[in-house]
Amino acid sequence: MSLLHMAVLAPFLLALIVPTLYKQFRQIHTGWFVLILPILLFTYFLRFIPLTKQGDVITERADWIPSLGIHVDFYVDGLGLLFALLITGIGSLVVLYSVFYLSKEKERLNQFYVFLLLFMGAMLGVVLSDNLIVLYSFWEFTSLSSFLLIGYWNERERSRYGAQKSLLITVLGGLSLLGGIILLSIMGNTFSIRELIAQSGQLMDHTLFTPALLLVLLGAFTKSAQFPFHIWLPDAMEAPTPVSAYLHSATMVKAGIYLVARLSPVFAESGLWLWLVSITGLITLLWGSFSAIKQTDLKAILAFSTISQLGLIMSLLGLGAAALHYDSIGENLYVAATVAAVFHLINHATFKGSLFMVAGIIDHETGTRDIKKLGGLMQVMPITFTIAVIGAFSMAGLPPFNGFLSKEMFLASMVNVLELNIFNMDTWGVLFPVIAWVASVFTFIYSMIVVLKPFTGKFQANLLDRKPHEAPIGMLVSPIILALLVIVFGIFPNLLSATIIEPAVTGIQPSLAADDFHIHIAFWHGLTPELFMTIGIIAVGFVLYLSLPKWQKSLQSLPERLSLNVLYDNGLRGLERSSASLMKRLMTGSLRTYLLSIFLFFILSLGFTIYWKDAFTLDTKHFAPIGFYELIVAGIIVAAAIAILFAKSRLTSIIILGAVGYAISLFFVLLRAPDLALTQLVIETISVSLFLLCFFHLPLLASRKEERMSFRLNNALVSIGVGVIVTLIALSAHSNKLFDSISSYYLENAYKEAGGKNVVNVILVDFRGLDTMFEITVLSIAALGIFAMIKLRLTRGKDPS
């Protein structure tokens, strides 16, 4: 247990004592206690920056299940550190914000902070684990705690729906990730990511490589809300706003991004990876930005915008994989894509976090998030407006904010695709910049909607429940810090480049030397094609935004049909309905049907086995000669058995059944089994008397007429089938005796060893006495059961008759 382990475990430990703190100090908002931890962790992780800057990696190990090769290996490199800083940094701001956002009196704060801390710890575990199984455990922990946080207001139906949806989708991805991990461990014979990366060259040729790639990507795509698994994210907006800001913009949705980035060195050599990641990212980017425009709820716009920005980062990571296909790193344009991805990841966390907090403030102060009701808040909430402007302009990619830089780098990478001459990129590659450009126009439009609709225009006080005023300063601190970061990163991007981005990019593409791509970050000025694209985006976007009222109506009628939610809802309902109807059809409650299926399965499985293995043999060598008496007794039994089928009264059936039993005891006599014959005789008598007793007590209902068994073809066929199968198996088993019987041992030793001459009895009480022991136990249970059934009738007292 190192300090690093303690750092990851600390949120879990604090979560343990949060309820006590909540109960003990009711006057103090619980969030204040919680706030200490992420700040401590943030400063702790800051200390790693000088180390990772030099390319050092810090590794710590603790044993968990060493026999299975599962160790809790944590390691800090540039990529892990970047995420750890995001998690703890934004975590601190979100906790501070939530202190002012959530009411001390009305909310169950203990639950909120326990869930939030669980999430924080799980997220740290995901980004710092080297062992894939440990990573998976934390991964599912994030799904679970996110489920709890989305459903925090569990009295609301929409919250429960959103929580269920997100859990179903992310756990589907989580399980497929587990499959991918297992395949990876089979291929590389290790769970360690670094060891897998070290042998990535051999893994490429393994047959399991493609399935593992697909499964891992499915996990990453569901978690990061990529198309078509993005549908859970807008519904997760039912969570409290601090949760949306933290989980659904800055951290959890980036877990998938992290996974793709982390496993890039393992998979990126494959063209499938490049195509899947970049195309999925682009589709998500386009679809998310397109869907964001038609939303009227602020948080829904931000949710779709998150989806689209995640798609952007994902597509950049996909293109970054192309870097591995070029030897000359010096002029490698595709490393720039990875740099852009990492840079935009940081930028997105800052501006999206602040925008969510702005949305929360508007909701908190006006009581609504509907942009149709909001307007003219600029005068009432000037500070909030300023933050919103900074965040939204950065999101739209306007200078001088950080979004502008990363958007430029993004467009540059997309343009560079045209020069990529691998995997048929030269033919379809032209789509990349086009999609990117169109999506950026959409992004511009919804960014303007976010900032202009609520804050400009006419102030409609009558539509609002409360009288809006500026938020308390405590609530504003976190978004102000984030907005300041947006500006600082925008003006001084090189603050980040050497300290954080470079080590992170080395984490994603470890084959690169540290100083080769240094220039790309520093180089961000010049009259490049992407600058003209940005000018085009602003011009077209501005025109489209101004004409928005004209075409938004037609937009709103279109997308409902195309929504994937309909598919999800119908799919879920169809699944429930079809399984219900299947169960209804299979589980009829009729014993007759169940017996029929049991026997059918018996016939089919055994019959198929006999046929498939060609198992039937008939060998008459061991057959004994058939005696005269045996023929007669067999004849009696067959005749009696058939007669039972056609007996009209039950009494007759019982008597004939008795006849069968006595005939069998005759068989025992003929086959020289006196003990069996004796027992069979007595038992048959007892059971026939019991049958008569049952028969005597059958209720005499008018409907219960004594009649012959009705004939059903199904039943006849199944019973004949069972008979035939059993006969075939018996014949073949008799013909295939591989070994002699052990009975000779008993015959020889019954007197010598056990001092008895009745071999049957010696076997029963001596050689195999334990069987007898438990058979008499069975009898005892039966007797007590009958006693209990008859004596302990609870209904007796109520029914005097």
Partner 1 sequence: MKQNDLILQTVTKVAAFVILLFAVAIFLGGHYSPGGGFVGGLMTSAAIVLLLLAFDLKTVTAILPIDYKFMIGAGLLISSLTVAGGLLFGVPLMTHAYRYIDVPLLGHISLHTAVLFDLGVYLVVVGVTMTIIQTIGESE
Q: Which of 386, 715, 719, 761 binds partner 1 (CB under 8 A)?
A: 761
CA distance 267 to 288: 26
Q: Whose Cβ is closer to partner 1: residue 271's or residue 756's?
A: 756
Q: Which region, judged by CB under 8 A, interacts with partner 1, from 115-123, 493-501, 654-662, 782-790?
A: 782-790
Query: Rounded to whole angstroms, how far apart are CA atoms 499 and 82?
Result: 10
Round to whole Å and give the CA distance between 635 and 97: 92
The whole-angstrom separation of Cα 120 and Cα 133 is 19
Question: Shortest Cβ distance from residue 775 to partner 1 (Å)?
Answer: 9
In angstroms, what is the minimal distance from the CB of 747 to partner 1?
A: 15
Q: Find the shortest distance in angstroms from Cβ 758 to partner 1.
A: 6
Least separation in angstroms between residue 795's CB and partner 1 is 14
For residue 122, give the nearest of 153, 83, 150, 95 by alpha carbon: 83
> Measured in whole angstroms, how far is the alpha carbon of residue 558 from the centre of its chain?
31
- Considering only CA atoms, which of 248, 218, 229 is closest in space to residue 568? 229
Q: Which of 289, 176, 284 is nearest to 230 (CA)?
A: 284
Residues 99/35, Cβ–Cβ less than 8 Å: yes
Shortest approach of partner 1 to residue 789 CB, angstroms? 9
Q: DSSP 3-state helix, strand, coil percentages of the chain (rounded to 5)?
A: 75, 0, 20
Residue closer to partner 1, measured from CB, 175 or 692? 692
Residue from 698, 738, 790, 794 touching partner 1 (CB under 8 A): that is 790
Which positions from 654 through 693 interact with partner 1, judged by CB under 8 A? 674-675, 678-679, 682-683, 686, 693
Which is closer to partner 1, CB of 601 or CB of 787?
787
Number of residues that bind partner 1 (CB under 8 A): 34
Count CB atoms within 10 A of the CB of residue 210: 15
Of 272 and 765, nearer to partner 1 (C-beta) is: 765
- Residue where the block lists tokens 């019959």: 607
CA torsion through residues 484, 485, 486, 488, sign = positive
Tokens of 219: 């996990």
Compare residues 151 and 658 and give the one whose CB is closer to partner 1: 658
In this structure, are residues 121 and 41 in contact, taking their beta carbons and an 8 Å threshold? no
CB of 199 to partner 1, least distance (A): 55
Nearest Cα to Cα of residue 266 among 193, 328, 329: 193
Shortest gap between Cβ of 710 and partner 1 (angstroms)? 31
Residue choice 776, 794, 797, 800 for contact with partner 1 (CB under 8 A): 776
Q: In terms of CB distance, is 527 or 686 closer to partner 1?
A: 686
- In this structure, are residues 350 and 393 in contact, taking their beta carbons and an 8 Å threshold? no
**Residue 141 or 667: which CB sits closer to partner 1?**
667
> Whose Cβ is closer to partner 1: residue 272's or residue 764's?
764
Q: What angle (nearest 5°) sits at the alpha carbon of residue 720, between those of residues 714 and 723?
A: 140
Pick from 431, 473, 566, 784: which binds partner 1 (CB under 8 A)? 784
- Closest contact distance (angstroms) between CB of 589 and partner 1 is 29
Establish if 762 lies at the interface with partner 1 (CB under 8 A).
yes
Q: Mask of contacts with partner 1, 729-758, x by CB under 8 A? A: -------------------------xxxxx
Residue 129's beta-bridge partner residues?
Answer: 74
Q: Judge contact between 640 and 660, C-beta under 8 A.
A: yes
CB of 168 to partner 1, least distance (A): 54
Distance CA 362, CA 359 (A): 5
Residue nearer to partner 1 on the CB measure, 423 or 668: 668
Q: Shortest distance, CB of residue 754 to partner 1, whole angstroms? A: 7
Cβ closest to partner 1, residue 106 vs residue 697: 697
Instruction: Say if CB 205 and CB 260 are below 8 A apart.
Output: no
User: Residues in the site for partner 1, rule: CB under 8 A?
Assistant: 674-675, 678-679, 682-683, 686, 693, 754-758, 760-762, 764-766, 769-770, 772-773, 776-777, 779-780, 782-784, 786-787, 790-791
